[in-house]
Amino acid sequence: MSTHPRIAVLPGDGIGPEVMACALEVLHAVGDFTVDEHLIGAAAIDKTGTPLPDASLDGCRAADATLLGAVGTGAVPADPDSPRPEQGVLELRRALGVYANLRPVRAIPGLEDAGPLKADRVRGVDLVVVRELTGGLYFGRRGRTAHDAFDTCAYTRDEIERIARIAFTLAEAKGPAARVTSVDKANVLATSQLWRDVVQGLADREYPHVPLDHLLVDTAAMRLATEPSAFDIILTENMFGDILSDETAVIPGSIGLLASASLPAPIDAGEGVRGALFEPIHGSAPDIAGRGGLASPLGMILSVALMLRYGLGRTGEADAVEHAVDHALREGLRTADLGGTATSHDAKRAVLAAL
């Protein structure tokens, strides 16, 4: 029987399969892995009528780690009761229990001028958005009639405390001055008031040495654009983290560069955390899918690096992939999203050459 790590691969829709194909080549270049491909999203609805077939979920549960491309067609269904591709991702996150979504963002040397922010604002930025991933609005009770609709946001103390613990641990690992900025809307929302109490209580009891501040989400959105270097660890709930992390794309210059790790348990620096999920932060980008390689595969490739580090405990290989991406960019690799002409295929080749 193979002793290679078993990876469940869910390419999904739109640019998902395009970026996944590139990332798998990089994965196979750094080691031996057994890869099983499964359906999710619109691709799964087309073939099976459901966005996350049992066979896909079983495959992810049996795997050491799961890689996901992206799902969605970009369309909002006319019939709210019809299956939606995005339900596949939400259901997968819930079923795997991956409550801790880490979205690292840094200024990449050589790319300081690639985004809309001034280079001196971007230089040196190195932050992680720690997003609660299995609670809040995306999982609350909802309903809709022809005349009204509602969504509910609920959090328990335990849900808040376990994600806050991840944020404080990451800050400790980053260094003595690294701060946690907890983002909420405590001036309005009951869930945010509980969030603030629980985060502050945990800090007082167990992490008094970690600098902590609380920021309202609207101010946080503004500060991310005006002073991104003020942040080390941004700790926040599900929807705020979804929105703020897309905003952080202005730091490296494209959402196509951003990766994520979703963990079902605290970080294990030795073995890695089994049963975790790794995906770029972008969606299926229907506007550029199937257009001759306009998609950057770098966020997906960097998600492979996060899988190697956090999912499989293979720090050396993770570093190698990240260095190869940095090297390729430093040497001038520019895909369309960064204003260049390199295709997805060119980007993958540049990374492979730098490995």
Residue tagged active-site, from 218, 268, 287, 319? 218
Question: For 263, how many CA atoms within 13 A lie in the half-sphere containing its CB?
Answer: 25
Dist CA 278 CA 26 (whole Å): 15
Instruction: Decide: 241 and 258 in contact? Cβ < 8 Å.
Output: no
Number of C-beta neighbours around residue 222 at 10 A? 13
CB of 159 to ligand COI, least distance (A): 17
Strand partners of residue 236: 131, 183
DSSP state of 280: E
Residue tagged active-site, from 13, 232, 242, 337? 242
Picked from ligand COI, ligand NAI, Mg ion, none, the partner binding residue 169 (CB below 5 to 8 A depending on kind) is none
Residue tagged active-site, from 99, 185, 232, 348? 185
Dist CA 45 CA 29 (whole Å): 32
Instruction: Decide: 84 and 148 in contact? Cβ < 8 Å.
Output: no
Binding region for ligand NAI (CB under 6 A) out of 65-73, 103-111, 187-195, 208-216: 65-73
Number of C-beta neighbours around residue 257 at 10 A? 28
Q: Is 99 a catalytic residue?
A: no
Instruction: Decide: 237 and 136 in contact? Cβ < 8 Å.
Output: yes
Is residue 285 within the footprint of ligand NAI (CB under 6 A)?
A: yes
DSSP state of 71: -
The only residue of 253, 275, 283, 293 in contact with ligand NAI, by rule CB under 6 A: 283
Pick between residue 241 and residue 272 the one whose CB is nearest to ligand COI: 241
Pick between residue 281 and residue 308 the one whose CB is nearest to ligand COI: 281
Dist CA 128 CA 67 (whole Å): 20
Pick between residue 159 and residue 242 the one whose CB is nearest to Mg ion: 242
Full strand arrangement of the beta sheet holding 100-106: 34-37, 6-12, 65-70, 276-280, 259-263, 100-106, 126-132, 233-236, 180-184, 212-216
CB of 137 to ligand NAI, least distance (A): 15
> Do the annotations mark residue 346 as ligand-binding?
no
- Tokens matching residue 95: 């079923």
CB of 89 to ligand COI, least distance (A): 5
Q: What is the largest CA-CA distance in the chain?
A: 58
Residue holding tokens 């994520």? 260
Q: Is 242 a catalytic residue?
A: yes
Picked from Mg ion, ligand NAI, ligand COI, none, the partner binding residue 114 (CB below 5 to 8 A depending on kind) is none
Q: Is 138 a catalytic residue?
A: yes
Q: Binding-site residue total for Mg ion (CB under 5 A)?
A: 1
Binding site for ligand COI (CB under 6 A): 86, 89-90, 138, 242, 281
> Do the annotations mark residue 242 as ligand-binding?
yes
Binding region for ligand NAI (CB under 6 A) out of 129-137, 140-148, 222-230, 279-287: 279-287
Is residue 304 within the footprint of ligand NAI (CB under 6 A)?
A: no
Is residue 184 within the footprint of Mg ion (CB under 5 A)?
A: no
- CA of residue 279 relative to chain centroid, distance: 6
Residue holding tokens 């494209």? 254
Is residue 71 within the footprint of ligand NAI (CB under 6 A)?
A: yes
CB of 280 to Mg ion, least distance (A): 10
The only residue of 242, 317, 322, 337 in contact with Mg ion, by rule CB under 5 A: 242
> Do the annotations mark residue 103 as ligand-binding?
yes
> Do the annotations mark residue 319 as ligand-binding?
no
- Tokens matching residue 245: 């992390």
Supply φ then ψ for residue 13, to 5 degrees: -120, 170
Question: Contact letters (x/-) for ligand NAI, 91-130, by CB under 6 A?
Answer: ----------------------------------------
**String of DSSP letters for 184-214:** E-TTT-HHHHHHHHHHHHHHHHH-TTS-EEE
User: Interface with ligand NAI by CB under 6 A: which residues?
Assistant: 15, 19, 70-74, 86, 89, 255-256, 279, 282-288, 295-296, 299, 337
Active site residues: 138, 185, 218, 242, 246
Binding residues for substrate: 93, 103, 131, 218
Binding residues: 93, 103, 131, 218, 242, 246
